[in-house]
């Protein structure tokens, strides 16, 4: 074989390898192409085998030439491998492109306070600003605090099974019912207060006034668009040596005007009856503008604390006098937001609740 031919033949081989490698579009195709040249049955391997019959001299020249071609093919292979890997990396970067300058996306899932909780917070804030403390008490109450101490007689209809949830195994001395109102907190709080100032009272001195509200859950056997077996109440109590109905009117008017953000809202005290107050009144409010304008809306029961109840608080009714009120935060919430079905508050429907976020 003429040396010229040999060179040409090997150059052509390397050139065709380079071409085939260039055509390989993926690493897998490239490895296939490699096998055609450098594999066990590849063309370079065949050339090596073909040297068996050559003389020692010829083997030297031929072997060196084949090696040059083999190295050229290997270099082309490495170069193409790197090219393909780089292309693959670029494609991947392209596919996973992330614009870090974009504004963050909201998850749209932030929680919020329940509308009635908002009302309770408003009530606490407003009465707090007028010097009222906030008291909490048990929802499972005893007969004594829920009824007897509040001057509610044994045969009062509120004590019947139709109106009150009783707890099994209870007794009149132990907690035996779900409180039907927050009024038992009047007694609980006053008794604590009196205990705290016992020494002052025993020395014939004046004790600091009782000024407290007690918001919380209450329960009655009742269920329709405006009644739920579980509902909320907020009790208010102000006891001192010189507290009058006039003070109740001032305080409650200020509260309602602040709560509803309505300076021209007016109040009406309508005579009523509660066993634990004498005299007693329902408090009605009237908006002067807006969708409810002109209508009298009942928002609370109230009255001067009955002397027997003052006595049950451990105080002398000849010396201490005061007033109490009980309002419905659920109803206040309905009026404030224009909701007409109480049950919506307790169904837990996220479409309703999320409107108050």
Site residues, ligand DAH (CB under 6 A): 181, 183, 235, 274, 277, 301-303, 324-326
Instruction: Give alpha helix (H) positions in 170-244.
Output: 184-196, 198-202
Shortest approach of ligand DAH to residue 192 CB, angstroms?
17
Shortest approach of ligand DAH to residue 181 CB, angstroms?
3
Q: Which is nearer to ligand DAH, 259 or 325 (CB)?
A: 325
Nearest CA-CA partner of 51 in 39, 59, 60, 41 = 59
Distant-in-sequence, close-in-space partners of 163: CB < 8 Å, separation ≥ 6: 157, 180, 220, 221, 222
Shortest approach of ligand DAH to residue 324 CB, angstroms?
3
- Can you tell me the distance from the alpha carbon of 187 to that of 96, in angstroms, rounded to the nearest whole number? 68
Distant-in-sequence, close-in-space partners of 33: CB < 8 Å, separation ≥ 6: 17, 20, 21, 23, 24
Question: Which tokens hold the place of 269?
Answer: 């005290």
Residue with tokens 């907020």: 234
- Can you tell me the distance from the alpha carbon of 309 to that of 42, in angstroms, rounded to the nearest whole number? 109
Q: Which is nearer to ligand DAH, 44 or 304 (CB)?
A: 304
- Can you tell me the distance from the alpha carbon of 121 to that of 289, in angstroms, rounded to the nearest whole number? 25
Shortest approach of ligand DAH to residue 254 CB, angstroms?
18
Q: Which is nearer to ligand DAH, 164 or 277 (CB)?
A: 277
For the chain, give percent helix, strand, coil, nearest 5: 45, 20, 35
Q: Which is nearer to ligand DAH, 141 or 235 (CB)?
A: 235
Shortest approach of ligand DAH to residue 135 CB, angstroms?
13
At residue 237, what are phi and psi to the nearest 5 degrees?
Answer: -145, 130
Q: Which is nearer to ligand DAH, 115 or 326 (CB)?
A: 326
Q: Which is nearer to ligand DAH, 302 or 333 (CB)?
A: 302
Shortest approach of ligand DAH to residue 198 CB, angstroms?
25
């Amino acid at each position: 074989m003429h040396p010229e031919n040999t060179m040409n033949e090997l150059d052509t081989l390397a050139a065709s390898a380079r071409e085939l490698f260039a055509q390989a579009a993926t690493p897998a195709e490239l490895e296939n192409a490699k096998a055609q040249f450098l594999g066990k049955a590849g063309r370079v391997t065949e050339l090596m085998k073909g040297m068996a019959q050559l003389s020692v001299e010829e083997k030297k020249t031929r072997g060196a030439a084949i090696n040059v071609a083999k190295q050229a093919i290997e270099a082309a292979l490495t170069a193409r491998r790197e090219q393909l890997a780089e292309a693959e990396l670029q494609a991947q970067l392209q596919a996973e492109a992330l614009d870090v300058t974009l504004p963050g996306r909201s998850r749209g899932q932030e929680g919020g306070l329940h509308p009635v909780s908002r009302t309770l917070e408003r009530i606490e804030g407003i009465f707090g600003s007028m010097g009222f403390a906030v008291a909490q008490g048990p929802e499972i109450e005893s007969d004594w605090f829920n009824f007897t101490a509040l001057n509610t007689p044994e045969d009062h209809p509120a004590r019947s099974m139709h109106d009150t949830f009783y707890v099994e195994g209870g007794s009149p001395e132990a907690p035996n019912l779900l409180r039907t109102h927050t009024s038992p907190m009047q007694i609980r709080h006053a008794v604590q207060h009196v205990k705290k100032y016992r020494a002052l009272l025993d020395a014939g001195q004046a004790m600091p006034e009782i000024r407290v509200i007690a918001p919380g859950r209450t329960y009655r056997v009742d269920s329709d668009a405006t009644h739920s077996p579980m509902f909320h109440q907020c009790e208010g109590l102000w006891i001192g040596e010189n507290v009058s109905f006039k003070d109740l009117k001032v305080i409650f008017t200020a509260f309602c005007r602040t709560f509803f953000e309505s300076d021209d809202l007016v109040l009406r005290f309508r005579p009523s009856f509660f066993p634990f107050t004498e005299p007693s009144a329902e408090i009605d409010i009237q908006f002067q503008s807006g969708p409810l304008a002109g209508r009298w809306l009942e928002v609370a029961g109230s009255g001067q604390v009955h002397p027997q109840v003052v006595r049950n608080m451990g105080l002398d009714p000849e010396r201490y006098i005061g007033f109490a009120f009980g309002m419905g935060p659920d109803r206040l919430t309905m009026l404030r937001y224009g909701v007409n079905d109480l049950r919506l508050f307790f169904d837990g429907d996220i479409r309703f609740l999320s409107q108050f976020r």
